[in-house]
Structure 1
Amino acid sequence: MKRRIALIGTLTAIAVFSAACGQDGAASDESSSSTASSQSEVVESTTGSGSEASAETETSIASTHLAEPYFAIFAGRQYVAQYHYRQFTGEALEDRTLTVAVAGADQAIRISGEGTDTTSLILDGQAYEIDHLNRTIDRNENADPTETPADAGIIAAPPFRDIGSTYVGSWEDHGLIYEEYYAANGDRMFYYFEGDILKRIRSASGENEFTLDVIEISDTAAPERIELPEDYEWLP
């Protein structure tokens, strides 16, 4: 898969978002060390906070579990979510748009930006890689749509794959309220809200961090996003 190799690099970077529906649990204090960047400065970072879990202190805000309605949307397996992030390509920092469209077992994950526009598609149990710039379709014969590929966790649609997570606490940062969750795989997830609207998602996996700004999240169906283009060339 010529184009799949290039795509996997981006998918793997975003695969740190394999965390999901929160459940109340032990709390920790991560308020001052978890400072989010502004929406205009969202970057993929190589430094994590590394603070140890501890008892929740007076800096924690009484939680309203703002993430729960969004967890319910993603658990319903019918939604469209659009995100913005920035990625280093060579020595340049470039803007990227990530669009995730899900309808049951079918899903399309499109990454677009300067010099790239690709979709990883699972449709009717088959996996495809679509290059919109070159207008080509490549069938991935080796992919198993019933499993989450180890090398491309984003296929399960980030960041809401239900592997279980524990609610930690809620704090305020730069005018936004954020909720922290520990994922079952050890990652830390941070959901930032303006009022009750989800504005940003950040994950910390070891020393690696990744941030997505939320453009839009909707529970409406979008079949036009989950289909094979009719006029593209099929690669051998």
Structure 2
Amino acid sequence: MKRRTALTGMLTAIALFSAACGLDGGAASDEASSVAASSQSEVVGSIAGSDGAAQTSSANESSIEEAHLAEPYFAIFAGRQYVAQYHFLEFTGEQLEDREMTVALDGADQAVRISGEGTDTTYLTLDGLAYVVDHLNRTIARNEGADPAEAAEDDGIIAAPPFNDSGSTYVGKWEDQGLVYEEYYAANGDRMFYYFEGDILKQICSASGENEFILDVIEISDTAAPEQIGLPEDYEWLP
């Protein structure tokens, strides 16, 4: 399996998050639309080629009894009290832009903040209500049409996209360019690849049909950060 060094489409999970929150109009909606389009069309190479499939079938039996490096991280995600920081690249027009994503969870409350060139937005679920916080323009938009029940159903994808792998199937473990990676079939049918340096998670890759993405892991902690899951007091509320 060959590693790619650039994200070829922004996370479909963030587009799903925006859709689940019922966003319409404004910069946040436009950004979600471009994310979804990029995810569908800007695919270069494959992190799940036929040679990887061959490795999977040949190594499955020998690696199935080994300890799974991803299990402690799955436990953190399932615990729903953590902060995770990721780096990725997103196509914006004709060029790649650096992006950082911070995911903070505290039980049912969650904040997903995307920041980088020309964007700094938090998608927030707080006390069962959904908000979009634009940090560049210092505004808050309340989504009156969001259905908390629907959002809860998608929590496994939205809150830890898509790494809350309850129900996933372990395939095998291999080495690639100095890193050890584990492959899983996620419950939704995606192929997930978790890259480790020692026992530290360094990168997460996913292949879902023709869509694929790569996240570089900056840090994952099981410590809650309630200061990241709240509404700024001095921002303007949009009608």
Q: What TM-score comes out, normalization by structure 1 length?
A: 0.79
Q: Does structure 1 retain, via aligned residues, the 8 Å contact 2:182–2:195? A: yes
How do 1:88-167 residues align onto structure 2 when only pairs under 5 Å count? 88-148=91-151, 155-162=158-165, 164-167=167-170
Q: Secondary structure at the match of 1:72?
A: helix
Structure 2 unaligned blocks of 5 or more:
1-23
Q: Which amino acid aligns with 1:9?
A: S
Q: Does structure 2 retain, via aligned residues, the 8 Å contact 1:117–1:131? A: yes
Q: Deviations over 1:129-153 (max 9, x none)?
A: 0100000000111112332489998
- Matches of 2:37 and 2:217 in 1, distance apart? 17
2:230 to 219, 227, 231: 227
Report the count of equivalent residues. Answer: 209
* Structure 2 partner of 1:211: 214
Q: Deviations over 1:147-200 (max 9, x none)?
A: 248999853331224552100000000000000000122110000000000000
* Structure 2 partner of 1:55: 57
CA apart distance, 1:227: 0.2
2:85 to 78, 82, 104: 82
Q: Percent identity?
A: 70
Q: Secondary structure at the match of 1:146?
A: helix
Cα distance 1:59–1:157, how it changes in 2: closer, same or farther (>3 A)?
A: closer
Q: Deviations over 1:27-83 (max 9, x none)?
A: xxxxxxxxxxxxxxxxx7444334357633399767320000000001000000000
* Structure 2 partner of 1:8: 32
- Greater RCO between the two (CA within 8 Å, min separation 6)? 1
* Structure 2 partner of 1:31: none
Q: Does structure 1 retain, via aligned residues, the 8 Å contact 2:156–2:163? A: no
- Matches of 1:150 and 1:13 in 2, distance apart? 24
Q: Does structure 1 retain, via aligned residues, the 8 Å contact 2:131–2:142? A: yes
Would you say 1:183 and 2:186 are equivalent positions?
Answer: yes
Cα distance 1:76–1:57, how it changes in 2: closer, same or farther (>3 A)?
A: closer
CA apart distance, 1:209: 1.2
Cα distance 1:67–1:12, how it changes in 2: closer, same or farther (>3 A)?
A: farther
CA apart distance, 1:11: 6.3
Q: Does structure 2 retain, via aligned residues, the 8 Å contact 1:3–1:129? A: no
Q: Secondary structure at the match of 2:193?
A: strand
Q: Deviations over 1:85-144 (max 9, x none)?
A: 001101111100000000000000000000000000000010000100000000111112
- Matches of 1:13 and 1:68 in 2, distance apart? 32
Q: Secondary structure at the match of 1:5?
A: helix
RMSD: 2.9
Cα distance 1:96–1:204, how it changes in 2: closer, same or farther (>3 A)?
A: same
Cα distance 1:81–1:99, how it changes in 2: closer, same or farther (>3 A)?
A: same
- Matches of 2:184 and 2:37 in 1, distance apart? 20
1:199 to 188, 192, 202: 202
